Structure 1
């Protein structure tokens, strides 16, 4: 593993009591156009039985972070530095054999697109049974019985017969349930759900989220929920990390982030959500501009090119100085606490009602 040259690390909570601790994580990809700085000094914690929501636009580094936790990046073109500690075990730099033993049994992932994540050549039941045979040493019959049990557990009707169906014979919502069954078949301690409700109608979305919550209450599983949908976060998460351009720009409890956000990017995310109480004549307020290229991210605050409050910061700090995310609740922004409070109360909060 290549060790990157890194700026001074941001302060993070100390101690080993957390089930999952990510410290000062960097993930870079070598491409023909240059080095993509996909994750740039990220730190967060997750406790047992809790749900951490990671939100941000496409390209902010959410999925890359969690693929690094699982050890799924191609080592030929990926450089990873920092610490990832799962239940006291360091994952950064662990051998492929070690990670292979952990994937499926200790940690697992519900991928974003269930149609492409499931193989079209094998039945759904066989794909659920395979990790159970590998990690638990079960026979084919035991694994098949377990697959039927898991399909029943996630609400698939007639699981004794549907276990022999192929993915294309399942609807989108049923495939997503089958993916959850496969992720949970070995009762892992950590489940990473990457946009688990994408492309599903709202009724099925609610069913999938309720299913994750029910399974978590049954087994005490820790969940990382990757999404750009703040409504999903409000329904499921305990704590939230807001990511932008590969960095965490704000973190706090779900109530902190949804009721009293502090970072201009979080204000923009909340402000772009349509509300039933708003007049149909009032246009949405999207965040202007586009996310920066991670091949050549801007100096200073990565959000300064799209931020409406740059001129309220003394000097040129937003353009030249990288803001630090404080320990615990807080945001990586050069605005003072008084400025954040006043802007939120006077300009942002009225839009969110």
Structure 2
């Protein structure tokens, strides 16, 4: 997803994250590859259980390695992360890379002020004094739009609104100027007005700091607002990737068609029904053979020889654009035109 003459800042190659359980091996991520350029935003989209968060916890080195099998390669600015030790990863977390979690109230300690939590993060990575760290916390709260930051720095998380807590989490994540920011559905629990404010804030801060962002969501509307490139995940694998314009305007995979078809749109009449994807996401303990989406797909009979149920489709990527589907380009074009026509009627 980066240009051929630009070295990716983050490179993930054939990542596998498998968990050992009493019931068997959970293949949460099963052969995932992507790149992220400096200062760009990659949107990772998919249903719950598709492997989005598991992927990014692997990047941060937050999996329990005693219970987790990690394979593949993760290079952050040329540094291999999967083989890095815990002490080395601790230095990178917060300093080189940071994460904004979905539930700010659960992520912030209720026993310490917001300012202290931001300041302690800064002190750990910079060795700053308490006074310097407090001043930095006030500065970051101001940057993320908290009113009266010199006063609110001494408030506890429960004294902040949901939107303000999320802003405080962003301040904590950015306090050491990380080069990679992972945002794990940071706006899901917020109302649409606050959600828009948080999105604008992230874009403004990205311009200011030049941060690379991975934005995890199940909402393609959010992707349309913030992402440069899009990675669509299903069943622990990537099924489609490309620029935001390519994926949203000319999607190639039936799963992406399903995601788009289940979204309301201002461009269509209000009485046009939405078309949810039938069935449920696959069990990653015993995933379907072949294409993992084929039990829910409406078009497997279009593919000769029953390949959808028996053979894993390859993710053929050319210039950052690709999809993992056995349908031919001609079949995809015809089916997509039919779907667009039925959506408008």
Instruction: Using structure 2 for the length normalisation, give the TM-score.
Output: 0.96
Q: Equivalences for 1:1-353 in 2 at 5 Å?
A: 17-327=7-317, 328-348=320-340, 350-351=342-343
Which runs of 4 or more aligned residues in structure 1 lie more than 4 Å from their structure 2 counterparts after TM superposition?
A: 12-16
CA distance in 2, matches of 1:351, 1:170: 43
CA distance in 2, matches of 1:16, 1:238: 15
Instruction: Using structure 1 for the length normalisation, give the TM-score.
Output: 0.94
* Structure 2 residue matching 1:168: 3-state secondary structure: helix
CA distance in 2, matches of 1:248, 1:115: 31
CA distance in 1, matches of 2:101, 2:109: 13
CA distance in 1, matches of 2:71, 2:207: 34
CA distance in 2, matches of 1:152, 1:267: 41
Q: CA deviation at 1:15?
A: 8.6
Q: CA deviation at 1:349?
A: 5.6
* Structure 2 residue matching 1:315: 3-state secondary structure: helix
Change (3 A) 1:187 1:73: same
| Structure 2 unpaired stretches of 5+ | none
Change (3 A) 1:76 1:13: farther
CA distance in 2, matches of 1:254, 1:13: 15
- Whether contact under 8 Å (1:267, 1:348) holds in the other structure is no
- Whether contact under 8 Å (2:272, 2:343) holds in the other structure is no
User: Cα RMSD (Å) of the superposition?
Assistant: 1.5
CA distance in 1, matches of 2:39, 2:182: 13
| Structure 1 unpaired stretches of 5+ | 1-11
